[in-house]
Amino acid sequence: MATHVTVDADRCTGCGLCIPVCPNNLFVAGPALNSRGEQPVLMVDAQYCLNKLDCVAICPHDALIPADAVESNVAGAFYWMGRQIGKASRLIPPRLRKDQP
């Protein structure tokens, strides 16, 4: 099975939120530091990725890119796009949002 998630080491802060959500425990703390001196995660045994994308959903820094999912999995692509739209909507001041009292 192809790798469905790619780690962007420069975006990853090494917070570790993705580690427990992976059903196959594919994420570990990486051996190298990124450009900000943080320790990004590394995906090991990527061939066992189940393409659940829970890691992508939980990452607060958009450091996990569902590269193959965007190309080959329509649901994954829509999921990822919805997440981007959700983040963008948070940039709207609360007084301008309809969902605010």
CA 42/CA 44 separation, integer angstroms = 6
The binder of ligand SF4 chosen from 3, 13, 34, 51 (CB under 6 A): 13
Give 49 or 63: the residue with its C-beta nearer to ligand SF4.
63
**Does residue 15 interact with ligand SF4 by CB under 6 A?**
yes
Taking the complex as a whole, how short is the minimal distance between the CB of residue 5 and ligand SF4, in angstroms? Answer: 9
What phi, psi does 42 have (nearest 5°)?
-125, 140
The count of other CB atoms within 10 Å of the CB of residue 96 is 7
CA 58/CA 4 separation, integer angstroms = 16
Give 40 or 66: the residue with its C-beta nearer to ligand SF4.
40
Taking the complex as a whole, how short is the minimal distance between the CB of residue 79 and ligand SF4, in angstroms? Answer: 16
Measured between alpha carbons, how far apart are the two ends of the chain, in Å? 48
Give the footprint of ligand SF4 on residues 17-76 (CB under 6 A): 17-18, 40-41, 58-59, 61, 63-64
